[in-house]
Chains A and B, each alone.
Chain A
Amino acid sequence: METIVSNFLGLYNYWAVVVLMMMGLYVLTAERNLVKKVIGLNIFQMSVIMFYISMAKIKDGTAPIIVDGARDTVYSNPLPHVLMLTAIVVGIGTTALALALVVRIHEEFGTIEEDEIQEQEGRG
């Protein structure tokens, strides 16, 4: 029991990330609306980014910007920040491409619902 409490106090960030990731994955796989799927993908992606950023955090640390004369300042780890900066920008690329595909699918099928598209495909 005690370990569970201490784990919760120490690991809550990871657990929150896992819950967010589960929600994103559920929206991505279970929703039949394509725009909803894209939003789910964004949530999923954000949970991964959050995971890295929360790993970089050091207690009582500050943003990794060097201040002259400050001797014993603790800075959070800048490396995950850089990696996730790249991930966010690439993420907007995938989102834009996915939404463009949704628009094309709507032009072709007149719907953005997965099951209706499959119905039409089966008939055609």
Chain B
Amino acid sequence: MIDILLFAFLMLTALGILRLRDLFAAAMLSSLFSLLAASLFMVMDAVDVAFTEAAVGAGISTILMLATLAITKRQEKARKRQLRPGPALLVLACGAMLIYGTLDMPHFGTADAPVHTYLAPRYLEVSPIEVGPPNIVTSVLASYRGYDTFGETTVVFAAAVGVLLLLGGRRRFRDAGWDITMGVDLREVQEIVARRQEGLKLPEGDP
């Protein structure tokens, strides 16, 4: 019952994001969306996914979004709100196909659905003996599917490098009008350092 309620809240939040013109509010709603999704994961027994979503979705991605809005613009351009026929048609077609596809899916919560018959029982039975931790998600993540996790960290590393390449570099900061020296004149600093060194001059030849 509670999952139906949470699904309804999720849809309402998504609808709010769709309608809002204030990007700041949309970012906050997307954070709320993540939090609701995390609650729903919790209800569906995916505790690890829930806390990852709460930390990453509701936390980090909101911070990134707000930082982006601080640098760019807070408000969406005011334009006449109308349903765009092309995208609407595409979305409806995709939705109809997907609904049709779900019609012969096993019902929600069925214990003998095909998903549960292969591999999962083995993990549940032997992973506490083979790997150790009582939390099976941990043992699958770190041991049985260790290469997956390795690939994931590689992707995150690649994304981090990409972000740094896009935003890094002093020239770019200067072009954007940012003062990364925080108002300190570098030449002045050099002068002070030089004078200090003059005063503390070491005897020559000393290593």
Contact assessment for A18 and B95 in the assembled complex, using a CB-CB cutoff below 8 Å: yes
| Complex Cα spacing A54 to B167, Å | 38
Among candidates B87, B136, B149, residue contacting A64 with C-beta atoms closer than 8 Å: B136
What bracket does the count of chain B residues touching chain A fall in? Answer: 35 or more
Among candidates B64, B103, B140, residue contacting A96 with C-beta atoms closer than 8 Å: B64
CB-CB contacts below 8 Å: B21-52 with A? 23, 26-27, 30, 33-34, 37, 40-41, 44-49, 52
What bracket does the count of chain A residues touching chain B fall in? Answer: 35 or more
Residues on the B chain within 8 Å of A118, using CB: none
A contact set with B: CB distance below 8 Å? 7, 9-16, 18-27, 29-30, 32-33, 35-36, 38-40, 42-43, 46, 49-50, 53-68, 74-86, 88-97, 99-104, 106-107, 111-113, 116
What would 19 more interface pairs be, CB under 8 Å, given A18-B102, A90-B152?
A10-B107, A14-B108, A20-B10, A26-B91, A29-B90, A39-B27, A43-B30, A46-B37, A53-B49, A64-B136, A66-B124, A75-B45, A82-B148, A86-B148, A86-B152, A93-B156, A93-B160, A112-B72, A113-B77
B contact set with A: CB distance below 8 Å? 3-4, 7, 10-11, 14-15, 17-18, 23, 26-27, 30, 33-34, 37, 40-41, 44-49, 52-53, 56-57, 60-61, 64-65, 67-69, 71-73, 76-77, 79, 83-84, 86-88, 90-92, 94-95, 98-99, 102-103, 105, 107-111, 113, 115-116, 119-120, 123-124, 128, 134-137, 140-141, 145, 148-149, 152, 155-156, 158-160, 162-163, 166-167, 172, 175-176
